[in-house]
Chain A
Amino acid sequence: MSPNAITILIGGEAGQGLATIGQLMAKALTRAGYEVCVTQDYQSRIRGGHNTFAIRTGPEPVYGPEEGMDILVALNQETVDRHAAHLKPGGMVVAGQKVDLDGHPGVQVPFTELASKAIYHNVAALGVLGSTLCGDLGILERLVSDTFAKKGQEVVDANLEVLRKAYHWFQAQDYSFHCLSPASEGNAADRIMLHGNEALALGALAAGCNFLSFYPMTPSTSIALTLIGKGGELGLVSEQAEDEIAALNMALGASYAGARACVTTSGGGFSLMVEAVSLAGITETPVVIFLVQRPGPATGLPTRTEQADLNLALYAGHGEFPRALLTPGTVEECFHLAHWAFDLTERYQTPVMVLSDQYLADQYCSVPRFDFASLPEITPPLLQVDELGTYQRYALSPDGVSPRLIPGYCEALVKVDSDEHDEMGHIEEGPANRTAQNEKRLAKASGLRAEVIPPELFGPEESDLLLLCWGSGLGACLEAVELLQERGHKASVLHFKQVWPLREDQFMPFLEGAKTVVAVEGNATGQFAGLLRKETGFAVQGAVLRADGYPLTATYVMQGLESWIA
């Protein structure tokens, strides 16, 4: 982690515009070529409460949030009261004149002087913030112009005036904040900024996803919003279903009839979908399920984060059928694994789930533009077959995969069945047929196993301390390992971006080569460590678990490791 990285934390009530200021600032930093990683904390309400938008940024890669901050933008008094104590040495508060800085270093911005109307206060805050970092005013000006272009030149000009006034106001203050180190050259041109859910949606669209059915549920809804908002031009058809049960059944009906379909949900909604997951299994209908986790049980903490639905996803659905579980660790992996999920489900005709969580869902990051041309082409199902009279949807085959025909394009009939069925798709309850069809379905697991994405090792192959993590736990572990290495520990991270199926040959040497293996997970029971033990017999020596609703951070991990590194 770069010592030049800083954290800007913006705090206030819901409805005060903190996300707007935050997004503009993060985008300006991205355009200036900086690495950006945003963590959002909000509550299950539309107005009021206390929300934060934390931007960690610097010229070198930033992996995740930290506990303290360098700049605290306080839109209300509560923000100072709650967070100012965590200001890092040299840090400062930026607040309005009505907010008491309570002795902390900082500036009180005369918002009413800088902007005649309250609606300009967000842009005024952006100007001051940009100025504290010695940001390029030109970049801020272009960003403001782009952002308000749709509202007409008059609005753009009014906002630009406020921006410049605010920028220069801070420059005139007798206050020096250390400027951000320059971003690496050439970084600015080809970067975009998006959050995990947007990246999942973009990956889905790049995979040709053209059907979405969903029921809104935090923190998954922004995948649906992005698919609908951005996918319309690409021909995406969407329907907000009456419930999650309908959502998945609808997606399966659509997929059967030729759509490339997905659903988006969180734990509670996924619980309702479970019977249809099983239907996807026996009917061998491709579907991608985006499961964005939040803390349960039941309604739990609707707007917070957790990695506690691994067991649910792993075992969801009655009966036995193969599946794949993908668990991106970064915004870039969200994009690539969403695409891969459609590729897998199309080829193996069995449900594929992508598990994210609120932290990753809302994490804005600056990333290089995605290279669509490098993505593998996804083979579509058949529209025609030669053997019109004898086509069988469930023809037995060595790898378990039968040719999938879309109905209506030729005279061959396509029968899919929730009941155990014969090769034609008709209900058939005999034991020999049952065994043949069951084995055919389960045979697809070998193909899925052969294509498992190996876990990624960061650090030496033989380590004193190996941090084992999956999904969004990656950033905190990477940063913790850097800190450990600085202190002279031979430490590594092993990160799983696919947690099912598991292939021992891909990771056992690392586990056995480490003196101590500690699982780091965002849940209370160490679900992945448990899965690993069940599958391989390997027991981790320790675990750092977090289940208070907040994301794993390097500081949290280091505290948890104290007994191991003493």
Chain B
Amino acid sequence: MVRVEDFGNFETAWCPGCGNHSILKAVKQALAGLDLAPHQTLLVSGIGQAAKLPQYLHCNMFNGLHGRALPAATGARLANPRLKVFAVSGDGCNYGEGGNHFLAALRRNPDITLLAHDNQVYGLTKGQASPTTAQGQKTKTQPGGQPSVPLNPVAIAVAMRISLVVRAFSGEPDHLAAMVAQAAETPGFALVDILQPCVTFNKVNTFQWYKERCYMLGDDHDPTNWAAAMRKADEFGDRIPLGVIWRGDRAPFESLAPGRGTPLAEHRLDRSALEKLMDSFA
């Protein structure tokens, strides 16, 4: 039986009050709830404050480059389909620097859970606009206000009908833990877009700002109804829905191509097949 304590306790580099603390707690809770031991789990991250999460719990970790968590996670899944793989990073990493990889992951639908910490700002580089920063929001590098409209990753993911699209909030830790667990259990690509305050650099989208707007989706929302899911995905203003926005039935990427099953580390060279292969050049 895996316990939350098995994932350890580490000193973090996060600000007090940062949403990352409760996201970390929720991840541990979810893993323990699924009875997933640290060595059965791989957390792949990019770069940023969110991407430091795998540093702070016992797990297998591939801390890669800014924006590149998803391709590395996809490679790991293809090499060993027995690993439970998470990609963990912030809005800038996933939706900006790694935008093309996000789109490709939506097309592939790999069995990966993407935990996208979405605080609508760049924290580690001290407060520049991120791909999800609201239009008109002023920052030190956009003193006249961010001229572009924010990306809606949830709507894009619903549009691509991936396996699971979830919106969560770091201020609702139990709900978040349940959502992470559901995402991890879903075969195929699961996006968990986690709203969180950046207490230091985002003075607009504060804890209070989210708290006032977020509400739980009820039984009246059917996440398998695509048009309804698109409407909920588009709801981001006075009210922001939390919960499973969309659940699809696309086959996971790994199941669609031959040869993807046995972990590649167990692959042994077949000399006679090689000889036969050489005959094709004679």
Contacts and interface: CB of A to CB of B under 8 A. Distances in A.
B265 A406 contact: yes
A408 interface: yes
A409 B42 CA distance: 12
A368 B71 CA distance: 40
Interface in B242-282: 257-260, 262-267, 269-271, 273-275, 277-278, 280-282
A65 B59 CA distance: 56
Given A210-B267, A416-B63, A230 B280 contact: yes
B47 interface: yes
B152 interface: no
Contact of B68 (A194, A237, A276): A276
A383 B263 CA distance: 12
A254 B42 contact: no
A407 B275 contact: no
A251 B281 CA distance: 28
Interface in A217-270: 230, 232-237, 239, 241-243, 245-247, 249-261
A260 B73 contact: no
A10 interface: no
B79 A412 contact: no
Contacts of A259: 75, 78-79, 264-265
A378 to B, nearest CB: 9
Interface string A425-441: 11100000000000000
A198 B282 CA distance: 13
Contacts of B74: 239, 250, 253
B37 A411 contact: yes
B126 to A, nearest CB: 18
A43 interface: no
Nearest to B97: A245
Interface in B170-203: none
A230 B262 CA distance: 19
A242 B104 contact: yes
A257 B80 contact: yes
A206 B271 CA distance: 8
Contacts of B151: none
A246 B267 contact: no
A106 interface: no
B278 A408 contact: no
Q: Which of A213, A410, A414, A415 has the most CB of B within 10 A?
A: A415
A206 B104 CA distance: 31
Contact of B274 (A242, A247, A283, A372): A372
A415 B58 CA distance: 9
A206 B77 CA distance: 24
A416 B72 CA distance: 12
A419 B63 contact: yes
A380 interface: yes
Contact of B282 (A191, A205, A239, A249): A191
B138 interface: no
Nearest to B13: A427
Contact of B71 (A249, A261, A380): A249
Chain A residues touching B, majority SS? mixed
B130 to A, nearest CB: 20
A247 B267 CA distance: 21
Contacts of B229: none
Interface size bucket, A side? 35 or more
A256 B262 CA distance: 16
B27 interface: no
Interface residues of B, number: 57
Contact of A383 (B55, B63, B265): B265
Nearest to A232: B259
Contact of A245 (B42, B68, B270, B273): B68
Contacts of B262: 235
Contact of A230 (B61, B62, B263, B277): B277
A193 interface: yes
A542 interface: no
Nearest to A429: B13
B221 interface: no
Nearest to B37: A411
A409 B37 CA distance: 12
Contacts of B280: 230
B213 interface: no
B281 A194 contact: yes
Interface string B51-67: 01011001111111100
A253 B75 contact: yes
B160 interface: no
Contacts of A202: 277-278, 281
B71 A372 contact: no
Contacts of A208: 267, 269
A276 B46 CA distance: 12
The listed residue with most B CB atoms (<10 A of its CB), out of A202, A239, A261, is A239
Contact of A243 (B55, B62, B72, B100): B100
B62 A256 contact: yes
A194 B278 CA distance: 10
A396 interface: no
B28 to A, nearest CB: 15
A261 B263 CA distance: 13
Nearest to A393: B61
Contacts of A260: 264, 267
Interface string B87-99: 0000000000000
A251 B267 contact: no
Contacts of A394: none
B44 interface: yes
A79 B263 CA distance: 52
B265 A418 contact: no
Interface in B76-115: 76-80, 82-83, 100-101, 103-104
Given A206-B269, A411-B38, 10 more contacts: A194-B281, A205-B277, A208-B269, A235-B259, A235-B264, A257-B265, A372-B275, A411-B39, A414-B60, A416-B61
Interface of B: 37-40, 42, 44, 47, 52, 54-55, 58-65, 68, 70-80, 82-83, 100-101, 103-104, 257-260, 262-267, 269-271, 273-275, 277-278, 280-282
28 contacts: A193-B281, A198-B281, A202-B281, A205-B274, A211-B75, A232-B259, A234-B270, A234-B277, A235-B264, A242-B71, A242-B100, A242-B104, A252-B72, A252-B75, A253-B44, A258-B79, A259-B79, A260-B267, A276-B65, A373-B271, A381-B265, A406-B80, A407-B83, A413-B59, A416-B63, A418-B63, A419-B63, A426-B55
